[in-house]
Amino acid sequence: MIPKTLLRLALGALIAFTSTFEAIAEDGPAKQLFGAQTLPTVSAPQSAGFYAKGCLAGGVALPVDGPAWQVMRLSRNRRWGHPRMIALLERLARDAAAKDGWPGLLVGDISQPRGGPMLTGHASHQVGLDADIWLTPMPKHRFTDEEREKVSAASMLKGDTLYVDPDKWTPARTALLKRAASYPEVERIFVHPGIKKKLCDSVQGDRSWMAKIRPYWGHYYHFHVRIKCQPGSPNCKPQEPIGADDGCGKSLAWWFTDEPWKKAPEPAKPVKPKVMMLSDLPKLCVQILNAPGPKSVDEVTFGVGTKGAQPAAADVPATAYAPEGNDVPEDVPVPGQKP
């Protein structure tokens, strides 16, 4: 007969091993886990974490086609966002067409179905509150799926310089950026420094909206709209508020020095890139990753299955994640060189 003490020790070891295994099984590279999700959660919308370190519950899809927009790069499955982000994109498309004469939006990446880190391209776009919009206007015809994968957006720069090509930039593009910045929920709009300089040199009259236009690397063929943390997302980490300055002074001049474009020195020893793990994200993201999804895409497409409203009751408790310190730089949208 096995002594009871030995049985208790063996049982305790088994429980400890099982718990450790489950913890390991739940963890993994976050971009692989979230990149594999094809549909969102069926829950109330909630952004958890920071723009570059978080996830999204209750996301909805922007319809592939609308009266004044088309979604590009459908194979990426990144047309998902917080319902307020999707509503804003539709509103911008309608307003720009009706009031500014912009033919329509070509929409790039928004977020993955459940947010989180992406397999390629972006550091941000993780909480459903970021969206890329091409500076190329929508054509009169509807793109085929193949065209949406192959058509490239046009750079606004002159050759390999940091400056906008005057033959490419038009007042309509300025009006589009001003329209996007006019919405109170929009917090920042990232553009190439050359585009910011073009605005600084050419905009007359009211320039208050230009405070939201922030220069950043890349962003010469599209602009990146970021909205504020939305109601119902107590675990969303906001950025520091922007100032009232139009941003055309010393901060912009820095971009036209050598400093921003210097290559980082090679390390003495090879450094293994740090992979963001699921355990690095807010605790709520584990539940979001494992929460049930809808039966179909139509059920969670804005204005189709959702009827333009927010999804119903949450399956994920808002208290599951306690906010932690923000160790991510403030301005972190880093899309690749191609849209």
**Is the CB of residue 196 less than 8 Å from the CB of residue 218?**
no
Q: What's residue 305's pLDDT?
A: 61
Task: Using DSSP bridges, classify how beta strands 186-191 and 213-215 pair: parallel, antiparallel or unpaired.
Answer: parallel
Q: What's residue 312's pLDDT?
A: 32
Q: What's residue 2's pLDDT?
A: 44
CATH for 138: 3.30.1380.10
Q: What's residue 26's pLDDT?
A: 72
Q: Which residues contact 173 (CB under 8 A, 6 or more apart)?
A: 135, 156
- Can you name the residues that pair with 71 across neighbouring β-strands? 107
Q: What's residue 50's pLDDT?
A: 98
In a domain, 274, yes or no: no
pTM, full prediction: 0.82
One-character DSSP codes across 312-329: -S-SS-GGG-------S-
In a domain, 116, yes or no: yes
Q: What's residue 37's pLDDT?
A: 97
In a domain, 3, yes or no: no
In a domain, 336, yes or no: no
In a domain, 38, yes or no: no
Domain count, the chain: 1
Contacts made by residues 165-169, CB under 8 angstroms, sequence distance 24+: 169/195, 169/198
Range of the domain at 215: 60-258
Q: What's residue 14's pLDDT?
A: 36
In a domain, 277, yes or no: no
pLDDT tens digits, one per residue of 119-147: 988 899 999 999 999 999 999 999 999 99
CA atoms within 13 A of residue 173's CA, in its CB half-sphere: 25
In a domain, 14, yes or no: no
Classify residue 229 by its DSSP letter. Answer: P
Residues of the chain with pLDDT under 70: 1-25, 305-339
Q: What's residue 306's pLDDT?
A: 63
One-character DSSP codes across 23-52: HHHH-SBHHHHHHT--S--SS--EEEEETT
In a domain, 90, yes or no: yes
CA distance 127 to 120: 16
